[in-house]
DNA sequence: GCAAACCCTGTAGCTACTATAAGGTCAAGC
DNA sequence: GCTTGACCTTATAGTAGCTACAGGGTTTGC
């Protein structure tokens, strides 16, 4: 199949497929006489594997590693696979925690200007300005 | 003060300060005879304002807008300030939701390989492979 | 008079794509 | 046989927000 067909079947844009090939995540397929890429079933599965990992937020470098484990002897221990997933879980977890703090801070800032005001007495701008001149700010104080 | 001093006082690297200047977030300061940037107190406050907004996760484009509101007539309504903060809150909120789903998916995947195995029968690799061949996967099924 | 610590500009790198530009190929219809 | 449109190709530049050089000039202290 051509690249457009592979793109349609996987929901991944042709340009992204070519990008994955450049990055060494997908093997370079055979070419037609006119230079068009010709994909087979294994390519589709490999791409689906990549896309599934991406949907779990994994970085391409980790996916490259995961894909590499297929080429290794099957008797090897799989602890490095587990470690990659654990890393990803902790990355995601700390992102969540950071964003939750952020949301609280933003809501405290937002509460400074509930009803419509003018710029002159907008509690939000005032709070941001105060923080800039070194005063305590509503958003970061209580965090 | 020189750029290094400003950097030390704000905890922002010199290169980042020059970057903000290039991006039009900080006004270009006066220069010494040898071309060194000379900053005054207002620059420090402006930079602190930017850094405070950044610490709330706001994109530079929004910070540029926020900073611009200082130059506008004080009697203008501040609803656009509020809108920017509201936007940021909803961005952060939807990121949190997406990451929470992700964490559940990752933990379901991780549960496929609790005790140490070999690559051949690693539940994680198997699950990822199955997903690539179109079968239902543990991680995305229950999401 | 020299070395260390500072400063300058300009450019390239990071992630994971996305979007062009400028061109070649192929099948259908007239 | 020729055109039209949908496909494909490569190469390059852009996105966000920095960070990290390279290759040079300046200033300060000993």
Distance, CA of B34 to C1' of C16, in Å? 42
| Residue A45 confidence (pLDDT) | 94
State the helix-helix crossing angle for B123-132 and A79-110, rounded to 10 degrees: 80
- Chain D positions with an atom below 7 A of a protein C-beta are 7-11, 16-21, 25-27
Angstrom distance (rounded) from CA B109 to CA A113: 44
Distance CA A1, CA A17 (A): 13
- Please report the DSSP string for A57-112 in residue order: T--HHHHHHHHHGGGS-TTSB-HHHHHHHHHHHHHHHHHHHHHHHHHHHHHHHHGG
CB-based contact (8 Å) between A9 and chain B? no
Q: What are phi and psi of A86, to 5 degrees?
A: -60, -45
Count of CB contacts below 8 A, A vs B? 168
pLDDT of residue A143: 44
Number of Cβ atoms within 10 Å of the Cβ of B3: 19
Residues 6+ apart with CB under 8 A from A105: A139, A140, A143, B56
The predicted pLDDT at position A138 comes to: 79
CA–C1' span, A38 to C27, in Å?
Answer: 18
| CB-proximal positions of chain C, under 7 Å | 6-10, 15-20, 24-26
CA-only gyration radius of chain B, Å: 24
Which residues lie closer than 8 Å to A104 by C-beta, 6 or more apart?
A142, A143
Q: Per-10-residue mean pLDDT for chain A, 143 residues long? A: 96 96 95 96 95 95 90 82 93 95 92 82 84 81 53
What pLDDT is recorded for position B132? 84
Q: Is B104 on the interface with A (CB under 8 A)?
A: no
Which residues partner with A31 through β-bridges? A37
Of B70, B74, B118, the CB nearest to A74: B118
CA A35 – C1' C30 distance (Å)? 29
The pTM of this model reads 0.88
CB contact (8 A) between residue B120 and residue A75: yes
Give chain A positions within 8 Å (CB) of B89. 103, 106-107, 110
* Token code pair at residue A89: 């879980």
Structure tokens at B35: 């071309």
CB distance from B83 to chain A under 8 Å? no
Which nucleotide is closest to the Cα of A38 by its C1'?
D8
Q: How far is residue B63 CA from its own chain's centroid? A: 12
User: What residues of chain B lie within 8 A of the CB of A46, using their CB?
Assistant: 132
Contacts with B132 from chain A: Cβ below 8 Å = 45-46, 48-49, 52
Contact B116 A77 (CB under 8 A): yes
pLDDT in tens, chain B (143 residues): 999 999 999 999 999 999 999 999 999 999 999 999 999 999 999 999 999 999 999 999 999 999 888 777 777 788 888 999 999 999 999 999 999 999 999 999 999 888 778 888 888 888 888 888 888 888 786 54
Report the alpha-carbon distance of residue B5 to residue A127 in Å, rounded: 25
Inter-chain touch B48–A100, beta carbons under 8 Å: no
* CB crowding A43-81: b at 16 or more within 10 Å, else e: bbbbbbbbbbbbebbbeeebbeebbebeeeeeeeebeeb
């Amino acid at each position: 199949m051509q690249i457009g067909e592979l793109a349609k079947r996987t929901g991944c844009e042709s340009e992204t497929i070519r990008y994955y090939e450049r990055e060494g995540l997908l093997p370079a397929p055979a070419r037609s006489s006119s230079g068009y890429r010709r994909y087979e079933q294994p390519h589709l599965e490999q791409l689906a594997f990549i896309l599934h990992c991406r949907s779990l937020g994994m970085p391409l470098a980790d996916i490259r590693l995961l894909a590499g484990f297929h080429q290794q002897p099957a008797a090897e221990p799989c602890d490095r696979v587990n470690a990659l997933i654990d890393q990803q879980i902790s990355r995601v977890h700390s992102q969540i925690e950071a964003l939750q703090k952020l949301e609280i801070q933003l809501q405290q800032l937002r509460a400074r200007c509930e009803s419509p005001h003018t710029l002159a007495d907008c509690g939000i701008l005032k709070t941001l300005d105060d923080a800039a001149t070194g005063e305590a700010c509503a958003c970061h104080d209580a965090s």
